[in-house]
């Protein structure tokens, strides 16, 4: 089947939905949102802490937020991208509110602002401790009621449709590749349909599922990054994987592990060993409010020194009722596994959380492939540099969705549908034997990445990861060529591709910088 849409949005988090809403009412055509599960299941919904924006102008200003972001990113951030996000944040917050998103306010009606690690001022807007879920709720309601948007849930994007212009030498950085839509797997027919578009937006989220333990849902398999990489698009900064220092340690929950928001440390939570001993003073003068990479490495080191599988976060010294008020979901979650956080320590351990790199885009969210935009976690805007500042990701998503909407609306009349695109070859079968192999290979990718390409790396570990991923790649590509394409084998291909990119770009960075820590290149003092 062939479908035609003026705007094709692949992904349904805050980035994809806010873009869809902005272009849907432009009079420039119809919008399709393709998501591989449901609108509800996206990394956006897992973001507890909040969304960063300069709001209290009595004490805060744009320059402070810009400088905090540059420092957190180890000065690898693109200052122009940082300025674009920070200066456009307030107007995008206003737009979220207009779409029905509710942020907590004080009795006087002002936003109730939190402070998180790396921020010099209180500038985190939130909705209790489920801010992402509230943003997702508000956007979903707006999207579902928009008559110009068609939603395709449980549909899986297999590949983007691209054409390399004749007479141009194709390299990974060539600007002469054009996107005409995507091949999408329809779960009802098990056929791969052709979606032609004038503009395509990639908003597929992160890569957390390539690790054995992650705060991301199972769907975070790096699909958009892998598709663009295979289409010869530019992918950058993949070595910078952020490990959240404090995921709830509960062995039965790994995809996603339950996130204990950084706001809890901003609230006054103290990191301790299980015996009650503090340790952050050995690593950073900011103690538990140090940036995430420092805190994650400190916890990792303490766990290895003492042979522990977790450390603890302590809020027992805080007012119990205040704790329950600020963190009702965390309180309820911990209580469900027998931990009263007002009286007991919370067991925590680092796990894969956020990808700072991705599909390289410019200030308009344009990728290196013409007519293809990328926003949200799958994109590399340059904002994060070597390390993401807490709560900058949600605001980056809406600011760049706005930039992508404005740019694509300016240019969409220049684009037409490519009617010559061939349909996908659906031949092949998939047996239980092959499904067992795919499931095992998915587990193996997680083990390889967590063991060799985790919080602390070395040249030897990275070489081992490369060798093992290369073997999996050859086996999986051979299988993909002869079986019927399914969501599972496509996700495995994407995970291997993304794992390879993280490993390769980690090997290429001959220094310890930001989130990338290699024991063979000690950080400069």
Q: Are residues 288 and 148 in the same domain?
A: no
The residue from 123, 137, 272, 292 that is catalytic is 292
Residue 491 domain-assigned? yes
State whether residue 403 is helix, strand or coil.
Answer: helix
Pairwise CA distance, residues 134 & 50, whole Å: 10
Q: At what angle do helices 131-144 and 392-411 cross, to 10 degrees?
A: 30
Q: Are residues 154 and 110 in the same domain?
A: yes
Residue 155 domain-assigned? yes
Cis peptide before 243 (omega within 30 of 0): no
For range 268-280, the mean pLDDT: 97
| CATH for 263 | 3.90.700.10
Q: Last residue of a domain, which of 350, 384, 406? A: 350
Q: Are residues 284 and 168 in the same domain?
A: no
User: Which of 127, 143, 124, 145 minimizes the C-alpha distance to 135?
Assistant: 127
Q: Are residues 124 and 256 in the same domain?
A: no
Q: Are residues 490 and 376 in the same domain?
A: no
Residue 525 domain-assigned? no
Q: Are residues 190 and 330 in the same domain?
A: no
Residue 221 domain-assigned? yes
Residue 420 domain-assigned? no
If residue 243 lies in a helix (H) or strand (E), which one and from where to where? strand 241-248
Q: Last residue of a domain, which of 330, 350, 370? A: 350
Residue 319 domain-assigned? yes
Residue 105 domain-assigned? yes
pTM for this predicted structure: 0.90
- The model's confidence at residue 446, banded by pLDDT at 50, 70 and 90, is very high
Structure tokens at 186: 């329809």
User: Which of 116, 119, 115, 111 minimizes the C-alpha distance to 90?
Assistant: 111
The string of pLDDT tens digits covering residues 34-68 is 999 888 776 555 555 689 999 999 999 999 999 99
- The model's confidence at residue 171, banded by pLDDT at 50, 70 and 90, is very low
Distance of CA 58 to the CA centre of its chain: 32
Residue 515 domain-assigned? no
Say if residues 16 and 33 touch (Cβ distance below 8 Å): yes
Q: Are residues 463 and 380 in the same domain?
A: no
Structure tokens at 361: 């885009």
- Sign of torsion, CA 186 191 195 201? positive
Query: Which residues constitute the domain of residue 345?
Result: 248-350
The string of pLDDT tens digits covering residues 77-128 is 999 999 999 999 999 999 989 888 889 999 999 999 988 878 999 999 988 7
Pairwise CA distance, residues 445 & 492, whole Å: 9
Q: Are residues 168 and 38 in the same domain?
A: yes
Q: Last residue of a domain, which of 297, 317, 350? A: 350
Question: Which 8-state DSSP code applies to residue 445?
Answer: H
**Residue 165: per-residue pLDDT:** 62
Q: At what angle do helices 14-24 and 392-411 cross, to 10 degrees?
A: 30
Q: Are residues 504 and 487 in the same domain?
A: yes
Spatial CB neighbours of 191, under 8 Å, sequence gap ≥ 6: 1, 185, 426
Q: What is the dihedral of CA 433, 439, 440, 446, to 10 degrees?
A: 170
The string of pLDDT tens digits covering residues 358-416 is 999 999 999 999 999 999 999 999 999 999 998 899 999 999 999 999 999 999 999 99
The answer to whether residue 292 is catalytic is: yes
* Angle, alpha carbons 150-152-158 (nearest 5°): 130
End-to-end CA distance of the chain: 60
Q: Are residues 224 and 267 in the same domain?
A: no
| CATH for 73 | 3.50.50.60
Average pLDDT of the chain to the nearest whole number = 92
Q: How many domains does the chain have?
A: 3
Instruction: Choose the most confident range, by mean pLDDT, from 30-44, 127-141, 339-353.
Output: 339-353
Q: Are residues 291 and 220 in the same domain?
A: no
Say if residues 366 and 380 touch (Cβ distance below 8 Å): no
Q: Are residues 155 and 276 in the same domain?
A: no
């Amino acid at each position: 089947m062939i479908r035609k849409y003026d705007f094709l949005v692949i992904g349904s988090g805050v980035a994809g939905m806010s873009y869809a809403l902005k272009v849907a009412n432009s009079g420039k055509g119809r919008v399709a949102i393709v998501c591989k599960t449901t609108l509800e299941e996206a990394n956006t919904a897992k973001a507890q802490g909040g969304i960063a924006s300069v709001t209290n102008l009595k004490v805060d200003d744009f320059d402070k937020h810009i400088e905090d972001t540059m420092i957190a990113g180890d000065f690898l951030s693109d200052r122009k991208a940082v300025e674009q996000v920070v200066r456009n944040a307030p107007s995008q917050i206003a737009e979220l509110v207009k779409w029905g998103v509710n942020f907590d306010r004080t009795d006087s009606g002002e936003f109730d602002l939190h402070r998180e690690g790396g921020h010099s001022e209180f500038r985190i807007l939130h909705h209790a401790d489920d801010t992402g879920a509230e943003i997702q709720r508000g956007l979903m309601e707006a999207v579902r009621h928009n008559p110009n948007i068609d939603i395709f849930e449980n549909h899986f994007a297999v590949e983007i449709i691209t054409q390399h212009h004749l007479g141009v030498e194709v390299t990974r950085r060539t600007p002469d590749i054009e996107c005409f839509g995507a091949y999408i797997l329809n779960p009802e027919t098990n056929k791969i349909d052709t979606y032609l578009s004038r503009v395509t937006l990639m908003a597929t989220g992160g890569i957390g599922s390539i690790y054995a333990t992650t705060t991301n849902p199972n769907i975070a398999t790096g699909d958009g990054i892998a598709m663009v990489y295979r289409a010869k698009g530019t992918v950058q900064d993949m070595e910078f994987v952020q490990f959240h220092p404090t995921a709830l340690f509960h062995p039965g929950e790994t995809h996603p592990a339950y996130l204990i928001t950084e706001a809890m440390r901003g609230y006054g939570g103290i990191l301790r060993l299980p015996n009650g001993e503090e340790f952050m003073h050995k690593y950073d003068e900011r103690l538990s409010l140090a940036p995430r990479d420092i805190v994650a490495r400190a916890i990792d080191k303490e766990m290895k020194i003492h042979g522990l599988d977790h450390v603890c976060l302590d809020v027992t010294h805080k007012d119990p009722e205040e704790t329950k008020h600020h963190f009702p979901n965390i309180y309820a979650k911990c209580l469900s596994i027998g931990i009263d956080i007002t009286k007991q320590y919370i067991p925590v351990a680092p796990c894969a959380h956020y990808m700072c790199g991705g599909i390289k885009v410019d200030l308009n969210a344009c990728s290196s492939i013409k007519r293809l935009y990328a926003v949200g976690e799958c994109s590399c805007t340059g904002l994060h540099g070597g390390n993401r500042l807490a709560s900058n990701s949600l605001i980056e998503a809406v600011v760049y969705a706005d930039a992508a909407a404005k740019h694509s609306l300016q240019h969409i009349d220049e684009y037409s549908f490519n009617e010559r695109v061939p349909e996908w070859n659906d031949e092949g079968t998939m047996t239980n034997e092959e499904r067992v192999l795919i499931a095992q290979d998915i587990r193996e990718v997680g083990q390889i990445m967590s063991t060799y390409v985790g919080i602390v790396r070395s040249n030897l570990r990275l070489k081992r990861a490369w060798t093992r991923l290369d073997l999996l790649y050859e086996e999986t590509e051979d299988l993909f060529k002869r079986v019927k394409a399914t969501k599972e084998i496509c996700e495995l291909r994407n995970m291997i591709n993304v794992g390879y990119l993280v490993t390769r770009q980690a090997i290429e960075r001959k220094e310890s910088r930001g989130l990338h820590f290699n024991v063979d290149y000690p950080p400069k003092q």
